[in-house]
Amino acid sequence: MNALIDPELLGVWTRAVIAAPLVVLVLLTVPMFGRRMWKESTIARLAVFGLMLSFALDTGLGLVWLMSDHVSYVVPLGSWFTIPDYTFVTTALIDTLSLSILGVTSFIALVVAAFSSRYLHREPGYARFFLLIMVFVLGMHVLLLAGSYDVLFVGWELVGLSSFLLIAFFHHRPGPVRAALRAMITYRASDVGLLVSGVLLHDAIGSSSIAFDGAWPEAVAQLSEGSATLIALCLLLAVIGKSALWPLGSWLPRAMEGPTPSSALFYGALSVHAGIYLLLRSAPLFEASEIASMMAIVIGLVTALLATAAHRVQSDVKSALAYATMTQVGVMVVGVGLHLFSWTLVYMIAHVFLRLFQILRTPSALRDAEEVRAALPILPPAKPPIALRLLPERWQRTLYFASLHRHFSELLLERFVVLPLLAVSRRLDQAERRWTAMLSPVSGVSKEETTTAPSRATRAAAGSE
């Protein structure tokens, strides 16, 4: 009953767990580049079957682990590339944390895929949707099973890529594209934190292994407090972007422009909580650093307070749920800061299922509201929450105004970070143009200002190619 799992079997099984979504992903690219698009039923069946297989493998792995002695396993998966002084080693870490969320991930993805197979019926981009879902599932599997921050980054990037491409799913409209741009920029800017943390870990201990000494959550990091603080703060930066914490959370409500199933999967359920997973995985670092723990508490608390206020002034249900999600994610970050790791894990899993359900139900929310109004012709007036009733009216108005403007965090970011950066970029570009103009008579003028529209002959030639 308490036997160790055969390492070879574990290696094969882990590879199978990662390979399952990968194989489906590769198969789904075929119709994208082929002459004829497959039928919706074929695509949906392939995706659902693949996710069922993935769920079966994930659950099987979890059951086998449960029946063993519950130790953490570091599973070597080989090396990606090797040079004399360095090897990119790929390992998987199998323990309570990774297996619990792994099963949840594949189950939720399966539910969403089944839901989407009918919800997106006759939607242009049906195949593209399922392709991106499989990219996401693959990314999550890699992220959850990663045995090092280097490998985790691979999954992290795949999750981010699928995320912003799905936000821009309805790409013929400007709103989703703008939202995707905002999400992409936030992800990439905050990903510096994850990359730098890998660099610092390599510098400190010669590898970026996540397998600290001991089993989660009691593992210990063999690092000085200074190193642990720096690395933990970098990871917190990465999580601030991915999990929409203050002050980089403005992308999340806008991300609801994507299809409802992907909003549920990403921003209710899994993608937004990937940051929490990263913090939980890095628990030993936070335990070793009081400063990082304090920062997590502050950021989590501020996020929760601001998000709950913003949630109450939203006029559409998906935005309201987005802010509600942010609130709870903020609470989870506080949990990490207080070193309540197991509690945070349980809370996260419960929250994932709740938000998934709520967001998948949003298309029906309007109909539900109308049914309630029809049943109750006179609705009782809504009472403000107790906390607001205690505040003076002037403060209530100020809070309402600030909440409507999302507490000005994105305005301030734009005013003091984005616009100055773009202004510097454009000034440097103007300087470059002036310099090249000095070297040559006309080159400072942008080609766009001297280019005319293509002639009909050129357009016809392009069309007949």
Q: Which of 387, 390, 404, 422 binds other proteins (CB under 8 A)?
A: 422
Cα 379 from Cα 395, distance rounded (Å): 27
Task: Give the CA angle between residues 203, 292, 335 to the nearest 5°.
Answer: 130
Q: Please say which residue, 17 or 360, places its beta carbon nearer to other proteins.
A: 17
464 counts as binding other proteins under rule CB under 8 A: yes
Q: Which of 81, 122, 382, 393 binds other proteins (CB under 8 A)?
A: 81
23 counts as binding other proteins under rule CB under 8 A: no
CA atoms within 13 A on the CB side of 47: 32
Query: In b/e form, how buried is each residue of 167-176, taking b as 16+ CB within 10 angstroms?
Result: bbbbeeeeeb
Cα 281 from Cα 400, distance rounded (Å): 37
80 counts as binding other proteins under rule CB under 8 A: yes
257 counts as binding other proteins under rule CB under 8 A: no
Size of the site for other proteins (CB under 8 A): 70
Q: Please say which residue, 139 or 337, places its beta carbon nearer to other proteins.
A: 139
Query: Could you tell me if 15 and 77 are in contact, meaning their C-beta atoms sit under 8 angstroms apart?
Result: yes
Closest CA to 75 of 139, 140, 9, 150: 9
Q: Please say which residue, 61 or 237, places its beta carbon nearer to other proteins.
A: 237
Q: Please say which residue, 399 or 413, places its beta carbon nearer to other proteins.
A: 413
195 counts as binding other proteins under rule CB under 8 A: yes
DSSP class of residue 6 equals P
189 counts as binding other proteins under rule CB under 8 A: yes
Sign of the C-alpha dihedral computed for residues 178, 179, 181 and 185 taken in this order? positive
Smallest distance, other proteins to C-beta of residue 24, A? 16
Q: Please say which residue, 404 or 445, places its beta carbon nearer to other proteins.
A: 445
153 counts as binding other proteins under rule CB under 8 A: yes
Q: Which of 3, 379, 380, 440 binds other proteins (CB under 8 A)?
A: 440
Cα 236 from Cα 246, distance rounded (Å): 11
Binding pattern for the stretch 382-421 against other proteins, x by CB under 8 A and - elsewhere: ---------------------------------------x
Smallest distance, other proteins to C-beta of residue 354, A? 32
Q: Is 298 left (phi over 0), alpha (psi -120 to 50) or beta?
A: alpha
172 counts as binding other proteins under rule CB under 8 A: yes
27 counts as binding other proteins under rule CB under 8 A: no
Cα 325 from Cα 304, distance rounded (Å): 9
202 counts as binding other proteins under rule CB under 8 A: yes
Q: Which of 18, 48, 168, 276 binds other proteins (CB under 8 A)?
A: 168
Smallest distance, other proteins to C-beta of residue 12, A? 20
- CA 292 from centre of chain: 22
Whole-number Cα distances in Å, 35 to 30, 38, 126 = 9, 10, 16
15 counts as binding other proteins under rule CB under 8 A: no
35 counts as binding other proteins under rule CB under 8 A: no
The residue count of the chain comes to: 465
SS3 253: helix
| Concatenated DSSP letters of 17-70 | HHHHHHHHHHHHHHHHHSSSPPPHHHHHHHHHHHHHHHHHHHHHHHHHHHTTT-
Cα 44 from Cα 112, distance rounded (Å): 11
Cα 429 from Cα 215, distance rounded (Å): 53
The residues, any chain, with a CB within 8 Å of residue 104's CB and separated by 6 or more, are 349, 352, 353
Q: Which of 174, 377, 381, 392 binds other proteins (CB under 8 A)?
A: 174
Smallest distance, other proteins to C-beta of residue 358, A? 29
66 counts as binding other proteins under rule CB under 8 A: no
Smallest distance, other proteins to C-beta of residue 196, A? 5
Q: Which stretch binds other proteins (CB under 8 A): 78-86, 257-265, 349-357, 376-384?
A: 78-86
| Chain contacts with other proteins (rule: CB under 8 A) | 32, 80-86, 88, 150, 153-154, 157-158, 161, 164, 168, 171-174, 177-178, 180-181, 184-185, 188-189, 191-192, 195-196, 199-200, 202-203, 421-426, 428-429, 432, 435-436, 439-443, 446-448, 450-454, 456, 458-465
